[in-house]
């Protein structure tokens, strides 16, 4: 399945990934609307969905599922906006913003990886069990 | 099942078309009135004054019931209503436990208003369909179904001769009938009762929600006080609602952000701590079966004792490991991450009309395991599940049934009744097959089971009048008050919980106050004033859930990790603030935690005066059977001899040495009954009531409820 893999050691906290993500999906340069978010400091920590799929079983209306590439997607049309998936995400990488009544998440599109100047993030195709890699 | 044939037999009695009112800040300000006697369907506007004082949910229910009935109205008079209402917060999806309906009627058990809080999707869908409340009045001539299509704005009353009456069957039939597809089934909710509710005053209402993973209509219950009996007396088979298009902001809240923040914080807390706290997601309320046993609080053998060596056979893990599945998730409304509902799947029934069927059983809740189980001396998990199933589908309140059955079993064991009276049933503690047979008889309206369905209060009268029983003894051991059976906690060693049961509006149900741990285990409320404060605050706080359309469980069955460091851990201050925030978030108001209590106080006093208006609701009606207060019998005293002897020494300066058990029981009784009276004095004073339990006009004025119709009632008692 397709996932975005990360290497915190290479991250310089420049914010290019957040900008490209929020701009692509929400037409706005706003970290809070980015699926990938970096906690910046002495050590930069990249937070992004690893497609583990815990949210699939949490969803009360079964609108979260995997696509053919194994990427976990939300069917926003039928989402009831309960945000249980946000509270139960083990990676804290299911996002929510008050401008929207549905959550959002990384779909491993790779836009951010292409922008990253240090190759701290990259799209990889891994076996399901490969998520331990993260 | 051929639902086409069922539908083809429908005969349209009335149809009403409407433009669904738009929701704004949690309200539509419209309510739906249906008179099934003359097939009249009308919309009502909610006046601003009603909204301000009565808020919603049970507040609206009580207000409409007051207006619809006279002090003389009986439960089975046509003018008695069933009122169903959510409340301004009902239907939000971000905060756990926000899909509750509050149901109100004049109870066949108590002859005063009963209110019951129930999950399932009906309440939210009613609101999304444009209605803040549904009032049903009148009586149909033949069995009918009421159908509300909330998307197209159509309401129908149909004669419906062929559908089943039992809850699990009719809910499946009607979900199938009104859904366009499998995917559409989650948009349907059905209210039904069951065949026992045709006869038994302890009849309940089932509210369905479609479980999209198990693919079955699950049932939640408005259990207490016989509302199902009223539904069936009105010849209503079911009320069906359909609403497609649920989203997270249909309440059109004033400030969605406040709700999101509170909800996500609680979801995260439940995710992080529930496994090590109450395990609500694993086993729901049944987590406390063994805890109650350990603290000597599990009602056993009609509340004689508080524990039993066999409790391990029905401990929560037995159900987890062998029978039930949960966490799929099991909320009874979208967004409830506490997810306490659970189901035994493919359970094969061993008795009764559905013998051999493989069914999905909701439960057991703690109350079911204790009421159907330990209180009747039954420690067989499969029998408890089976009784649980039949109670639900026949439409029988498990709590009342458990307590009645336990009472009858004690009467049998003491020789007050015998096989001749029970129709051959050997009604000893532990006889699960006999208990099930009572249910099957109740469903047919036959035999001793039909008598059981009348409740402890009626049984006491029958045993005295027809079988020469000693009325004083039966009044001591019959665990009912105001006509409602006590729920499943042993309050004997906690004075505050005796008040928590006794000093209530609807009767001894723990949803007003559950103070046993605060009082008995943690000793946090030692004085009468402390207990009175708790018996003011907690009933008022808990009443608020019923005004809003909320569930109580997410308040204190999950805790913030630093809750113990707060000033008042028992109140869960962080969660109280969440409630203030989500209320303000939905309605755009700016209340604080004190205003929240004031909202409840208005309704609580209104309900008290409603009781007084009906000739009840006074001090004498708040007395409890002595079994709830102390040891009635030799065996009960002896089972806790050391504790009781020590109490005689410490509290009464009475030397138990050389005294007979009977003498000690008598002294203990005088002391404990006096304590209950002193507690009653303190609580009434704190609540702003006279020593006879009547709200004073000054108090009504203070809380903004000096309404002429209330003053008219109380002035005759002051």
A83 vs B263: CB contact, 8 Å cut-off? Answer: yes
Which residues on chain A are in Cβ contact (under 8 Å) with B270? Answer: 87
Residue of B nearest to A92 (CA): B268
Put simply, the answer to whether B335 touches A101 (Cβ < 8 Å) is: no
Helix or strand run (H / E) with residue B544: helix B528-548
**Cα–Cα distance, B106 to B77 (Å, whole number):** 10
Q: Count Cα atoms within 13 angstroms, Cβ side, for B439.
A: 30
CA dist., res. B562 & res. B265, Å (int): 14
Determine contact, residues B115/B509, Cβ cutoff 8 Å. Answer: no
Q: Give A62's contacts in chain B (Cβ within 8 Å).
A: 212-213
Read off φ and ψ for residue B567, nearest 5 degrees: -60, -40
User: Do A83 and B266 lie within an 8 Å CB cutoff?
Assistant: no
DSSP strand pairing (B236-242 vs B144-149): parallel
H/E run at residue B13 = strand B11-17
Bridge partners for A123 per DSSP: A4
Cβ A81–B249 below 8 Å, yes or no? yes
The predicted pLDDT at position B80 comes to 98
Indicate which of B251, B257, B334, B339 best probes the interface with A, i.e. most A CBs within 10 Å of its own CB: B334
**B184 CA to chain A: closest CA distance, Å?**
12
Residue-range definition of the domain harbouring residue A62: 2-133
Closest C-alpha to B60, from B34, B82, B75: B82
Sorted by where each starts, the structural domains of chain B and their CATH numbers stand as 3-242 (3.60.9.10), 278-485 (1.10.569.10), 495-558+591-717 (1.10.599.10)
Cβ-nearest to B247 among A62, A81, A86: A81
Give the per-residue pLDDT at B329.
64
Q: How far apart are CA B587 and CA B479, in angstroms?
A: 41
Domain count, chain A: 1
Q: Is residue B660 within a helix (H) or strand (E), and if so which, with residue range?
A: none
Q: Under an 8 A CB cutoff, do B329 and A84 touch?
A: yes
Residue B337 and residue A84: Cβ atoms within 8 Å?
yes
Nearest-Cα distance to chain B for A30, in Å, is 17
CA distances from B42 to B39, B46, B155, B425 (A): 10, 13, 10, 50
Neighbours of B106 (CB within 10 A): 27
pLDDT tens-digit map of B394-451: 999 999 999 999 999 999 999 999 999 999 999 999 999 999 999 999 999 999 999 9
| A33-83: pLDDT as tens digits | 999 999 999 999 999 999 999 999 999 999 999 999 999 999 999 999 999
Identify whether the C-beta of residue B379 lies closer than 8 Å to the C-beta of residue B311.
yes
Q: Residue B206 pairs with which residues in a beta bridge?
A: B192, B221
Please give the C-alpha separations between residue A45 and each of A14, A48, B252, in angstroms, as whole numbers.
12, 10, 37
Question: Cβ distance B463 to B469 under 8 Å?
Answer: yes
Structural contact between residues B136 and B236, judged by C-beta atoms closer than 8 angstroms: yes
Q: Which two tokens stand for residue B365?
A: 């809740």
Distance from CA of B126 to the nearest CA of A (A): 17
Q: Where are the alpha helices (DSSP H) in B19-81?
A: 48-54, 58-68
Structure tokens at A104: 């959002």
pLDDT tens readout for residues B233-253: 999 999 999 999 999 999 999
* Tokens encoding B589: 């108001």
Enter the tokens of residue B314.
């029905």
Distance from CA of B133 to the nearest CA of A (A): 23
The residues on B that touch A, with CB distances below 8 Å, are 93-94, 186, 212-213, 246-249, 256-257, 260, 263-271, 328-329, 331, 334-337
Q: How far apart are CA A119 and CA A113, in angstroms?
A: 7
> Among B717, B674, B352, which residue's Cα sits nearest to residue B498?
B674
The alpha carbon of residue A75 is apart from the nearest alpha carbon of chain B, in Å, by: 13
pLDDT at residue A132 tops 60:
no
pLDDT above 50 (res A133):
no
Answer yes or no: do A57 and B248 touch at CB < 8 A. no
| Nearest residue in B to A80, CA atom | B247
* pTM given for the model: 0.97
- Sequence-ordered list of residues with C-beta below 8 angstroms from that of B148, at least 6 positions apart, any chain: B32, B126, B129, B131, B154, B155, B239, B240, B241, B242
pLDDT of residue B522: 87
From B214's Cα to the closest Cα of chain A, the distance in A is 12
pLDDT score of B305? 97
CA nearest to B223, candidates B257, B200, B246: B200
**SS3 (DSSP) at B233:** helix
pLDDT mean across residues, chain B: 97
| Closest among B134, B214, B205, B136 to B171, alpha carbons compared | B205
d(CA B493, CA B637): 12
SS3 per-residue string spanning A6-63: ECHHHCCCCCHHHHHHHHHHHCCCCHHHCCCEEECCCCCEEECCCCCCHHHHHCCCCC
Residue of A nearest to B257 (CA): A98
Cβ-Cβ pairs closer than 8 A, A with B, add up to 72
Report residue B685 as tokens: 């004073």
Neighbours of B59 (CB within 10 A): 31
Q: What residue in A sits closest to B269 (Cα-Cα)?
A: A87
Contacts of B213 in chain A (CB under 8 A): 62
**Interchain proximity A81–B93, CB inside 8 Å:** yes
Q: Cβ separation of B334 and A86 shorter than 8 Å? A: no
Q: Which of B249, B263, B269, B275 to probe by mutation at the A interface, max A CB count within 10 Å? A: B263
Rounded to whole angstroms, the Cα distance separating B473 from B457 reads 13
* B213 contacts A87? CB cut-off 8 A: no
List, in sequence order, every residue forming a beta bridge with B14; answer none if it has no partner: B157
Output the pLDDT for position B466.
Answer: 97
Q: Do B248 and A60 touch (CB under 8 A)?
A: no
Residues of chain B below pLDDT 70:
326-329
How many CB atoms neighbour CB B517 within 10 A?
Answer: 16
């Amino acid at each position: 399945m397709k996932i975005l893999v990360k290497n915190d050691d290479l991250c310089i906290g420049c914010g290019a990934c957040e900008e490209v993500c929020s701009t692509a999906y929400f037409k706005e340069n706003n970290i809070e609307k980015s699926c990938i978010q970096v906690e910046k400091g002495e050590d930069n920590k990249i937070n992004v969905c690893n497609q583990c799929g815990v949210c699939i079983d949490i969803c009360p209306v079964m609108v979260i599922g995997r696509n053919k590439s194994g990427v976990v997607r939300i069917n926003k049309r039928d989402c009831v906006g309960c945000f249980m998936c946000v509270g139960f995400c083990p990676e804290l990488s299911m996002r929510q913003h008050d401008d929207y009544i549905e959550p959002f998440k990384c779909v491993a599109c790779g836009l951010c990886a292409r922008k990253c100047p240090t190759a701290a993030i990259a799209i990889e195709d891994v076996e399901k069990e490969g998520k331990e890699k993260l | 099942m051929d639902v086409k044939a069922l539908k083809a037999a429908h005969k349209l009695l009335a149809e009403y078309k409407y433009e669904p009112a738009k929701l704004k800040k949690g309200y539509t300000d419209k309510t739906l009135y249906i008179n099934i006697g003359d097939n009249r369907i009308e919309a009502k506007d909610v006046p601003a004054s009603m909204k301000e004082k009565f808020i919603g949910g049970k507040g609206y229910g009580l207000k409409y019931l007051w207006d619809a009935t006279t002090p003389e109205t009986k439960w089975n008079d046509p003018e008695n209503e069933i009122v169903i209402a959510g409340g301004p917060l009902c239907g939000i999806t971000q905060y756990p436990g926000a899909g509750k309906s509050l149901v109100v009627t004049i109870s066949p058990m108590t002859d005063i208003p009963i209110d019951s809080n129930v999950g399932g999707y009906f309440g939210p869908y009613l609101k999304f369909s444009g209605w803040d409340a549904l009032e049903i009045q009148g009586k149909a001539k033949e069995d009918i179904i009421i159908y509300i299509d909330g998307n197209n704005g159509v309401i129908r009353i149909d004669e419906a001769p062929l559908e089943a009456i039992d809850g699990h069957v009719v809910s499946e039939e009607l979900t199938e009938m009104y859904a366009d597809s499998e995917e559409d089934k989650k948009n349907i909710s059905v209210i039904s009762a069951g065949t026992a509710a045709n006869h038994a005053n302890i009849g309940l209402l089932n509210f369905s929600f479609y479980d999209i993973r198990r693919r079955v209509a699950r049932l939640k219950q408005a259990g207490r006080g016989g509302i199902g009996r009223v539904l069936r007396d009105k010849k209503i088979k079911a009320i069906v609602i359909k609403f497609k298009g649920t989203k997270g902001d249909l309440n059109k809240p004033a400030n969605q952000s406040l709700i999101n923040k509170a909800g996500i914080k609680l979801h995260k807390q439940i995710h992080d701590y529930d496994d090590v706290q109450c395990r609500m997601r694993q086993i729901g309320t049944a987590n406390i079966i063994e805890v109650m046993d350990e603290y000597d609080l599990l009602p056993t053998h009609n509340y004689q004792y508080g524990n039993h060596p066999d409790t391990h056979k029905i401990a929560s893990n037995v159900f987890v490991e062998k029978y039930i599945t949960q966490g799929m998730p099991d909320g009874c409304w979208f967004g409830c991450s506490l997810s306490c509902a659970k189901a035994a799947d493919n359970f094969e029934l061993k008795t009764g009309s559905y013998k051999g069927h493989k069914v999905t059983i909701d439960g057991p809740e703690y109350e079911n395991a204790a009421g159907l189980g330990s209180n009747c001396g039954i420690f067989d998990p499969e029998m408890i599940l089976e009784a649980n199933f039949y109670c639900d589908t026949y439409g029988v309140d498990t709590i009342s049934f458990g307590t009645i059955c336990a009472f009858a079993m004690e009467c049998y064991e003491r020789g007050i009744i015998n096989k001749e009276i029970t129709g051959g049933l050997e009604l000893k503690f532990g006889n699960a097959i006999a208990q099930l047979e009572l249910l099957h008889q109740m469903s047919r309206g036959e035999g001793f089971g039909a008598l059981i369905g009348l409740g402890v209060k009626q049984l006491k009268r029958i045993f005295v009048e027809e079988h020469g029983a000693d009325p004083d003894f039966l009044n001591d051991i019959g665990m009912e008050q105001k006509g409602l059976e006590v729920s499943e906690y042993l309050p004997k060693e906690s004075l505050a919980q005796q008040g928590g049961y006794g000093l209530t509006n609807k009767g001894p149900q723990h949803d007003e106050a559950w103070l046993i741990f605060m009082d008995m285990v943690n000793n946090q409320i030692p004085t009468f004033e402390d207990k009175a404060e708790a018996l003011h605050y907690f009933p008022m706080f808990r009443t608020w859930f019923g005004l809003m359309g909320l569930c109580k469980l997410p308040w204190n069955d999950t805790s913030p990790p630093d809750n113990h460091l707060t000033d008042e851990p028992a109140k869960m201050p962080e969660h109280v603030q969440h409630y203030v925030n989500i209320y303000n978030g939905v309605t755009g108001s700016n209340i604080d935690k004190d205003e929240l209590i004031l909202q409840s106080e208005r309704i609580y006093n209104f309900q008290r005066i409603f009781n007084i208006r009906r000739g009840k609701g006074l001090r004498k009606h708040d007395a409890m059977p002595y079994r709830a207060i102390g040891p009635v019998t030799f065996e009960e005293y002896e089972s806790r001899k050391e504790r009781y002897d020590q109490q005689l020494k410490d509290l009464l300066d009475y030397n138990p040495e050389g005294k007979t058990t009977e003498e000690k029981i008598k002294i203990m009784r005088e002391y404990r009954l006096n304590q209950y009276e002193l507690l009653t004095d303190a609580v009434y004073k704190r609540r702003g009531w006279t020593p006879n339990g009547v709200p004073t006009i000054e108090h009504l004025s203070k809380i903004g409820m000096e309404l002429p119709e209330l003053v008219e009632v109380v002035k005759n008692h002051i």
